[in-house]
């Protein structure tokens, strides 16, 4: 699903792959995550969104509200995530590579990818529709 003008529009993954307005990053990730563990992929994208939101906040591009809340005792920096050997390779690479992109565009792309992954989870019966 994607958000446009505050209305939820359901689109298929194939439609996103064919859409000229969808970034090449999103298209590549949609294709690559078809073979990935869906739970791990979703978790990684959620963490990436948290990193990107913090970047946007630091650049004054977003208010202080974040999509995902961590418990008060969990705090991390981008550098800690990149250095942590327990963090999956995909996430470490994406944190580094998205530094070269506009933070808001990277955040929008990650949110779109998360919506795709959540739809996969719904189709697979892993999560319930909201």
Q: Could you give the CA distance from residue 53 to residue 108 in angstroms, rounded to a whole number?
A: 10
At 73-113, the pLDDT tens digits run 556 788 888 999 999 999 999 999 999 999 999 999 999 99
Please name the residues in contact with 96: beta carbons below 8 A apart, sequence gap of 6 or more: 82
For residue 59, pLDDT beyond 50:
yes
Inter-residue contact 106 to 61 (CB < 8 Å)? no
Residue 1, pLDDT score: 39
Residue 5, pLDDT score: 39
For residue 10, pLDDT beyond 80:
no
């Amino acid at each position: 699903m994607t958000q446009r003008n505050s209305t939820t529009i359901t689109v298929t993954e194939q439609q996103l792959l064919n859409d000229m307005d969808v970034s090449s990053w999103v298209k590549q990730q949609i294709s690559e995550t078809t073979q990935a563990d869906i739970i791990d992929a979703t978790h990684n994208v959620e963490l990436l969104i948290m990193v990107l939101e913090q970047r946007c906040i630091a650049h004054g591009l977003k208010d202080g509200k974040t999509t995902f809340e961590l418990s008060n005792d969990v705090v991390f920096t981008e550098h800690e995530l990149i250095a942590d050997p327990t963090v999956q390779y995909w996430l470490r690479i994406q944190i580094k590579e998205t530094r070269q992109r506009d933070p808001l565009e990277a955040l929008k792309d990650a949110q779109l990818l998360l919506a795709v992954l959540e739809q996969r989870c719904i189709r697979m019966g892993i999560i319930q529709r909201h």
